Amino acid sequence: MCDTCGCNITHGNERFIRPGGKLARTESGKEAVTVLHSLLDENDHTAKHNRAHFDSHQVLAINLMSSPGAGKTALLEATIKALQADSDRQLSIAVIEGDLETENDAERIRKHGVDAIQIATGSACHLDAHMVHQALHQLDLDGVDIVFIENVGNLVCPASFDLGQHANVTLLSVPEGDDKPAKYPVMFRAADLVLISKSDLLPVLDDFKPENAKQYLHDIACDVPVIELSAKNQAGMPLWFDWLNAEIKRRQLYLENHPVESEHHHHDHDHTHDDRPLHPHAPAPGLERGR
């Protein structure tokens, strides 16, 4: 939303702004200021900056969200292993890990020879754009195709914060139950892809019905693709890789038509970036096939 065209006036708030509405009054000696800014303006500004940084390196950034224990790290490990073994795809990955206290998840990722930056959030229940910005200072994006940002396990708070990602992927694991989209509509509405993880458990946890999960997604007017997969037995993983490849292509196409503004690093900062010009980046061999 912006302050110029009036798109920040919604059906919900326009009645307050009209003359005679609650926001129109002014008492003597006081000044009433109409603001209409998102409370998350500052975060969103940094998120935009992060996105420009990813774009200038032609990197696709994916924000992975789920409840704790839904299998985000296991999915990343399986993804890294499969992509390293697949000579057709050869996608280079880096990971930003959000965790309350430990480095456990980052260490699991590093064992596969992949760069992983740990953000210890302390008691914070979500990542925000500033934390990701700090992590980006430690991450060399040259030659990287995808950065996965593994958010803090939580189906509530992370949904409100734009990190600068290009897509949100939300995991719904089979043991959690198929009605999670109805319980956490904000999280699932933010998703660009829903992964039903631990699908190997479907035969034993037969009260989880993938079609119910999809119905609950429809109930919140959410029309995103849903993939059932298991990091354990690899079922459904090729569909996930296809989705990733399609997203990379979509982003490349977008960047061809919307070149990155080179001055994106010239914000008012208390630090400097390694300010590289936009560099040519050979597409991964797997991507050339589709062209």
Partner 1 sequence: MHELAICQALINQIESIAAERNAIRAVSIVIGMGPLSGVEAQLLEHAYPVASAGSVADGAELVIEKLPVRVRCTQCDKESDVSPNKLICKHCGDWRTTLLSGDELMLMSVELETYPETAGATADAESELSLH
Interaction site with partner 1 (CB under 8 A): 6, 8-13, 16-17, 22-23, 26-27, 29-43, 124-126, 128, 156-157, 159-161, 181-183, 185-187, 189, 218-221, 223
Contacts of 167 (CB under 8 A, 6+ apart): 60, 61, 62, 63, 192, 193, 247
The packing angle between helices 237-257 and 72-85, to 10°, is 80
Task: Output DSSP code: residue 103.
Answer: S
Other Cβ atoms less than 10 A from the Cβ of 158: the count is 26
Q: Supply the minimum distance, in Å, between the C-beta of residue 218 and partner 1.
A: 4
When the beta carbons of 24 and 253 are compared against partner 1, the nearer one is 24
What is the rounded radius of gyration, in angstroms, for the C-alpha atoms of the chain? 21
Q: How far is the CB of 122 from partner 1 (least distance, A)?
A: 12
Please identify, using beta-carbon distances, which residue of 9 and 202 lies nearer to partner 1.
9
Q: CB 115 → partner 1: shortest distance, Å?
A: 28
CB neighbour class for 12 (10 Å; exposed up to 12, middle 13-18, buried from 19): exposed
Task: Please count the other Cβ atoms lying within 10 Å of the Cβ belonging to residue 238.
Answer: 13
The smaller minimum CB distance to partner 1, of residues 177 and 185, is found at 185
Measured between alpha carbons, how far is 249 from 251 in angstroms, rounded to an integer?
5
Q: Rounded to an integer, what distance in angstroms lies between the CA atom of residue 269 and that of residue 267? A: 6
Which lies closer to partner 1 via its Cβ, residue 34 or residue 257?
34
Residue 117 and residue 93 in contact, taking contact as beta carbons nearer than 8 Å: no
Smaller CB separation from partner 1, 219 or 261: 219
| Cα–Cα distance for residue pair 173/63, rounded to 1 Å | 17
CB of 47 to partner 1, least distance (A): 13
**Sign of torsion over alpha carbons 130, 185, 15, 32:** negative
Q: How far is the CB of 2 from partner 1 (least distance, A)?
A: 13
> Locate tokens 């998102």: which residue?
38
Taking the complex as a whole, the smallest distance from the CB of residue 232 to partner 1 amounts, in Å, to 31
In the complex with partner 1, the residue whose CB is nearer, 43 or 170, is 43
Min. distance of Cβ 270 from partner 1 in angstroms?
16
C-alpha 271 chain-centroid distance: 25
Q: Which is nearer to partner 1, 120 or 220 (CB)?
A: 220
